[in-house]
Structures are given as structure tokens and as C-alpha cells.
Amino acid sequence: MTSVLYDAPGPRAKRRNVLFSVVFFVLLALLLWWIWQTMDEKNQLEWALWKPFTTSEAWTTYLLPGLADTLKAAALSMVIALPLGAVLGIARMSDHRWVRIPSGAVVEFFRAIPVLLLMLFANEFYVRSTGIPSDERPLYAVVTGLVLYNASVLAEIVRAGILSLPKGQSEAAMAIGLRKSQTMSSILLPQAVTAMLPAIVSQLVVIVKDTALGGVMLGFTELLNTRSTLAANYANVIPSFIVVAVIFIILNFILTSFASWLERRLRRSKRSTGAVLGADKVDDVNAAEVGGTYGTGAGGSI
Amino acid sequence: MFDFLSDYDNPTLLGAFWVTVQLTVFSAVGSLIWGTLLAAMRVSPVPLMRGFGTAYVNLVRNIPLTVIIVFTSLGLANIFGVTMGTEDLKDRAFRLAVLGLVAYTAAFVCEAIRSGINTVPVGQAEAARAIGLSFSQVLRLVVLPQAFRSVIGPLANVLIALTKNTTVAAAIGVAEAALLMKEMIENEAQTLLIGAIFAFGFVVLTLPTGLFLGWLSKRLAVKR
């Protein structure tokens, strides 16, 4: 393997690599053995603790309803945040200062605030000012928090998507006499949406992960929350954490794989402009082309 | 209007934000160290190390931070008896939160650093070797200076996200800003005012960091 850091290995380097491999393997094996040993010592490996996961009851009573709520909150947030984000993103590029500045302020403000604060605030707001029944309130609060934060992140993705298009696209549209709104809606936006798709799918991972906040702080019955009911019932804290973590990993892994598959496919297709925004590209675009902003870990990141 | 603030003295408003800052600083230092080690593994010529690095990053990145933080408290502390070297419950929660934040954030730090190394074209190293520089000279004079300068931006994003993520520590009872806000907002009538105070606090914490590091990364960027 040749990289910036290493040349193709010669005989000595090959021997050294083998030595490193062996040492690292031993260390890793020791670590795993130690974890196994500790688990055994604390009786976490007993079959009785893992057995519930082979029965349908644990899944139908606890895990699947929790997963359903997680997905419901994530899907709702995405569906609401996307149009809102598109509007904010386009408004931020407006020629009119009185549209551009307020929407810019909104986007920067909600990106700077932790989602948890938004959720807590929304929850309390719904308690005092609306008649939403208390069993539905956590869902509303979680979705509100996620929408406010992710709409502003998506606004940045939309803006980055539009800025990533070749300048000739809007120049040609102007040359054939399209109005600004026509240029945006029939030339720029369709291309930008295609370019943004991978970044948008990656943003779903962030949303799925953030739903877990509502489970601990607001009593929203998502996966992490139903895990604690499950663990209280079967007294299997460690196994329940491992199973829930694995579910999240699989779910998010499917989403990230889908995003990168989409990115590859879009890059290949002949009809696109070649501008594709991967999850990791959004912040680069922000830094390079979108002056005066700072990324807050949009897309793929935290 | 701000009278109610004097009712809260354990912690005070500033005290809670001070805990947030401490969480951020300790986790930032820890995750920078662990993340750099992970990045070194991911770009190393040893396949096993690369595999471990890749597996760690991909697994940890896909688990919600909340799950990790709650696990440190319910799993590590309660079941495995990890006390983090202190009997004091408050200190223990704080250290467990730092542990969780480091484990999670390191995955993102690793990716940022690795992407920085990847931005350096292979031709640079080849040219450096061609004029007879040794491995350490290539690394010191050619590769690392370019790599470090290109990761300031991504690392700034990670730092800002980390600052906001410290609020998750409220889930295991660390007395930081989010926990105090939850308490205040439930007890006091001025929901909007309290929300604005805490929002302002976080804007104050993240905005200067973002602007400064963003300016720095633009200034130091290697133009290609």
C-alpha cells in the first residue's frame, strides 16, 4: 500500500509490520479476554439474562414498539424539517436584505443551541400554552426540537447544494429570460436536491440518534426508554444495552450505506451536473463558499 | 425580572455553565488524544490496526451519545462497579460523562484528522522522497504541516458539536446547564425568559469558538 505516509514496504518494513500485527493482536485479545472475564465475574454472561431476546415477548412488548416510536419521531421530523429547511435556505440567499438577514439569524441561532434545550423548552411550552394530552406531549416536544435544529442544518445543506451548481446554470436561465423565482424553482432547486440527497439521508442518522434524548429527559417511549422498562422486567441491564446499541448500529449503518450508494450512483449518472454533496462535503462547502458561517457538525457528523 | 435566579445556588447559573465548560475542555483534550491514536491506527500500514480503527469508528458513530452516556452510569458504574477513582457521586457522574463523551467524540476527531491526511496529495510525499528527505523529514516538513492546517475547520466543527453534546450529561445527573434549565423551567413561570438565558449562554460559548477557528482555518488553509 502506498500512501502519503508510507512507501511500498520493503523486506524490513514487511517484517516490522508483521511484528506490529502480532503485538497488536495480543493486546486486543487481552482486552477482549479481560472484558469477557469481567462480564463473567459479574454474572452477565448467564443464559437467563440473554434468553428473553430469543422470545417474542421481549420484542413485541418492549423493543419493537420503542423502535417504532424512534422511527416515527425521526420520520416526522424529517418530513417537517425538509420543506422548512428548503425555505430557510433559499430565503438566506435572497437578494433582499430584509429576507436574507432574519432567515440567516434564525438558522445560525438554532444551529448554535443544543437540541436538548430546544426539546426541554418545547415540552414546557406545550405544558403551559397548549392542550396537548400528556401522553402525546413527549412526541410533540421531541419532534419540535428536532425540527427546529435540523431545519436550520438542512437550510445550510440546501444552500451548499445550490452554491455547488455551476454558475452557468443560473446565467443561462437569466439569458433565456426566466425570472428569479423561475430560475430557482425549475433550474437550480431540482439539480440541488439531487446533489443534496446523500447529505439529506446522512442527516437522518443524526435525527435517529437524537430521538434517544427524548427518551431519557422527557419520557418519550422510544427505544432507549423501553430498554429501561425491559431491563427492569428481566433484570438484564448489560444485555439490554448491547441489544439496543446493536439495533441502532444496524439501523444507522443501513442509512449511511444507502447514502453512500446514492452518492456513488449520482456521481455516475450522466444527467447530473456532477455536483454531489456527500455528508462530509457539506462543511467543506460551508467553509469554502459560504462566508461567515461555521459548521456545527452538519451531515454525517455529530 | 431576573429575581428568580437568586433562588438557585446549587449550582448557580454561572456555576452550571462552568460545569459545561469543564465537561467540554476535559472531553476535548481526551477525545483529541484518543482520536489521534485512532487516526494513527486507521492510516497505519498494519491491516489489523486499520481494521480495529475502522470498526471502532463505524460502531461508535452509529450509537446515540445518549445511549453511551446512560450506559456509563447504569452499566459501567452500577453493574461493573467502575468508580472512576472517586466515592463522591457528583464527581463520579462528571467523570463518567467525560468518559462517554471522549469515547463518542474520538470517533469524529479520528475521521477529521484522517481526512486531513488524505487531503495531502501522494505526489507531495513522492517529490519529497525524490529529493532525498528521510521518512521523518517527509512527515515533519511536508505531510503533517499540510494535514494539520486542513483539519482545523473540521475539528472546530467537532468542538462546537461537543460543546452542545455536553448537555447530554444531564441524563445522568451532572449538574450542568441543561439540567439547571430543566429544573428552572419546571419551577418558574418565565419559560421564555429562561429559555432565552440558556440559549444565549450557548451562543456565547459556541459563536466565538466557531468564528475564531473558522477564521484561523481559512487563514491557514493550503491553497491547491
pLDDT digits (tens, 9 = 90+) for A60-110: 889 999 999 999 999 999 999 999 999 999 999 988 999 999 999 999 999
Closest alpha carbon to B45 in A189, A1, A115: A1
pLDDT score, position A291: 30
> Which of A256, A294, A296, A301 should one mutate to test binding to chain B, selecting the residue with the greatest count of B CBs within 10 A?
A294
Per-residue pLDDT tens over the stretch A214-240: 999 998 999 999 999 999 888 889 999
Task: Say which residue, B130 or A280, is predicted with more confidence.
Answer: B130
> Which of B58, B59, B66 should one mutate to test binding to chain A, selecting the residue with the greatest count of A CBs within 10 A?
B66
H or E stretch covering A62: none
Chain B environment of A113 (Cβ under 8 Å): 164, 199, 202-203
pLDDT band at A270 (very low <50, low <70, confident <90, very high): low
Residue A153 identity (one-letter amino acid): V
Contact A224 B67 (CB under 8 A): yes
Contact A287 B213 (CB under 8 A): no
A301 has a pLDDT exceeding 60: no
> Which of A22, A67, A117, A286 should one mutate to test binding to chain B, selecting the residue with the greatest count of B CBs within 10 A?
A117
Q: How many CB pairs under 8 A join A and B?
A: 191
Supply the DSSP string of A279-293, one letter for each residue: TTHHHHHHHHHSTT-
pLDDT score, position B88: 86
Chain A environment of B64 (Cβ under 8 Å): 208-213, 224, 248
Per-residue pLDDT tens over the stretch B58-107: 999 999 999 999 999 999 998 888 888 888 888 999 999 999 999 999 99
pLDDT score, position A235: 86
Chain B environment of A231 (Cβ under 8 Å): 74
Contact A216 B185 (CB under 8 A): no
- Nearest residue in B to A241, CA atom: B71
What count of other Cβ atoms lies within 10 Å of the Cβ of residue A284? 18
Q: What SS3 state is found at A42?
A: coil
Contact B178 A17 (CB under 8 A): no
pLDDT score, position A122: 94
Counted domains in chain B = 1
pLDDT band at A294 (very low <50, low <70, confident <90, very high): very low
Mean local confidence (pLDDT), B160-187: 93
d(CA B52, CA A273): 37
Closest alpha carbon to B195 in B208, B177, B207, B210: B177
d(CA A23, CA A34): 17
> Measured between CA atoms, how close is B167 to chain A, in angstroms?
7
Q: Buried (b) or exposed (e) across A107-132, using 16+ Cβ within 10 A?
A: bbbbbbbbbbbbbbbbbbbbeeeeee
Contact B211 A294 (CB under 8 A): yes
Contact B63 A245 (CB under 8 A): yes
A133 has a pLDDT exceeding 50: yes
Q: What is residue A52's DSSP assignment? A: G
- Nearest residue in B to A24, CA atom: B49
- Nearest residue in A to B205, CA atom: A112
Per-residue pLDDT tens over the stretch B2-45: 778 888 877 889 999 999 999 999 999 999 999 999 999 998 88
pLDDT band at B158 (very low <50, low <70, confident <90, very high): very high
Chain A environment of B62 (Cβ under 8 Å): 205, 209, 248-249, 251-253, 256
pLDDT score, position A274: 62
pLDDT band at A132 (very low <50, low <70, confident <90, very high): confident
H or E stretch covering A226: helix A223-234
Mean local confidence (pLDDT), B122-142: 89
A2 has a pLDDT exceeding 70: no
Q: Which domain holds residue B121?
A: 3-220
pLDDT score, position B11: 81
Provide the CATH number for the domain around residue B108.
1.10.3720.10
Q: Which three cell numbers stand for residue B11?
A: 449550582
Least CB–CB distance from A3: residue in B46, B122, B198:
B122
Beta strands in chain A (DSSP E): none
> Measured between CA atoms, how close is B121 to chain A, in angstroms?
7
pLDDT score, position A1: 52
